[in-house]
Amino acid sequence: MSLDPAALVQRYLDTVVSGSAEDVAALYAEDATLEDPVGGGEVHIGRQAIAGFYAMTANAEVSTELLQLRTGGHEAAFAFAITVTMGDTKIRVEPIEVMNFNSAGEITSMKAYWGPSDMKQL
Amino acid sequence: MSLDPAALVQRYLDTVVSGSAEDVAALYAEDATLEDPVGGGEVHIGRQAIAGFYAMTANAEVSTELLQLRTGGHEAAFAFAITVTMGDTKIRVEPIEVMNFNSAGEITSMKAYWGPSDMKQL
């Protein structure tokens, strides 16, 4: 099977918008790792921990927009915007993410690079 | 020592423009790795191999421009443009790069994500 990281990234961004935390976690390999933000001191290991991470925005309205994508082999690096609306609060963050995929197309690692200066209140 | 990945990235982009291949390689740790492009099938290991990689553009006129930078911990992800002029040929590539640094500020790994569609002839 030839892997299409571009399609896998778009599926991820779409699932973040329309899927449950479990739906997003299901895109990850069972033993995947997630670090968001990089340098934040916490790495989520395994699909269950990853579902817990995405559950944080379960009650929010989320939209995503792919801004720049670079792929190579089983990897992708991309800049995107995510807008999260919770009640009266609406924030937009523009991370650069790096993803690795296994040959089944599952995400084996995700790292999101961003800091306070990449987040703005709308 | 507190590390400033933003300053290290800018020093790297400046050295790529004005330094020799050895100058750029000296920004890397002795046992660093370099993969450019990711998925290209070749990983350069060690400062000497890395100097060989940068020697490819030793006779070219090079300019660089930082487009987007995200940092976290000892890591940085950034989009930039590099323009390489060799004789009558002038090309511009816009990769996304990911760098890891050690506590001395040396680059321990560099990965450049880009493909043919991110390169244009000027």
- Please tell me the predicted confidence (pLDDT) of residue A104: 97
- Selected for mutation to probe chain A from B38, B82, B114 (highest A CB count within 10 Å) is B38
- Please tell me the predicted confidence (pLDDT) of residue B23: 97
Out of 3.20.20.150, 3.40.30.10, 3.40.718.10, 3.10.450.50, which CATH number does the structure's domain A5-115 have? Answer: 3.10.450.50
- Please tell me the predicted confidence (pLDDT) of residue B60: 92
User: Does residue B1 register a pLDDT over 70?
Assistant: no
Give the pLDDT band (50/70/90) at residue B31: very high
- Please tell me the predicted confidence (pLDDT) of residue B22: 97
Q: Would you say B53 and B36 are in contact if contact means Cβ atoms under 8 Å apart?
A: yes
Cα A17 to Cα A11: distance, rounded to the nearest angstrom: 10
Answer yes or no: do B71 and A98 touch at CB < 8 A.
no
Q: Per the structure block, which two tokens stand in for A103?
A: 């040959």
Active site residues of A: 12, 36
Minimal CA separation from B114 to chain A, in Å: 5
Give the pLDDT band (50/70/90) at residue B2: confident
Q: Give residue-wise pLDDT tens across range B45-81.
A: 999 999 999 999 888 999 999 999 999 999 999 999 9
Q: Give residue-wise pLDDT tens across range A77-116.
A: 999 999 999 999 999 999 999 999 999 999 999 999 999 9
ipTM of the complex: 0.91
Of B70, B74, B96, the CB nearest to A70: B96
Cβ contacts of B7 within 8 Å, gap of 6 or more: none
Q: Which residues on chain B are in Cβ contact (under 8 Å) with A68?
A: 68, 79, 96
**Chain B, nearest residue to A37 by Cα:** B72
- Please tell me the predicted confidence (pLDDT) of residue A2: 75
- Is the CB of residue B52 less than 8 Å away from at least one CB of chain A? no
- Is the CB of residue B98 less than 8 Å away from at least one CB of chain A? yes
- Please tell me the predicted confidence (pLDDT) of residue A43: 97
Minimal CA separation from A93 to chain B, in Å: 12
In percent, how much of chain B has pLDDT > 90?
93
What does the domain layout of chain B look like in residue ranges?
Answer: 5-115
Say whether B36 is catalytic.
Answer: yes
Cα A15 to Cα A99: distance, rounded to the nearest angstrom: 15
- Is the CB of residue B114 less than 8 Å away from at least one CB of chain A? yes
Long-range contacts of range A6-10, CB-CB < 8 Å, 24 or more positions apart? A6/A69, A6/A71, A6/A76, A8/A76, A8/A99, A8/A101, A8/A105, A8/A107, A9/A66, A9/A69, A9/A71, A9/A76, A9/A78, A9/A99, A10/A66
Give the pLDDT band (50/70/90) at residue B92: very high
Of B39, B68, B77, the CB nearest to A73: B39
- Please tell me the predicted confidence (pLDDT) of residue B57: 86
Report which of residues A87 and B99 the model is more confident about. B99
- Please tell me the predicted confidence (pLDDT) of residue A1: 52
Q: Give residue-wise pLDDT tens across range A9-64.
A: 999 999 999 999 999 999 999 999 999 999 998 999 999 999 999 999 888 999 99
Of B68, B73, B114, the CB nearest to A79: B68
Say whether B12 is catalytic.
Answer: yes
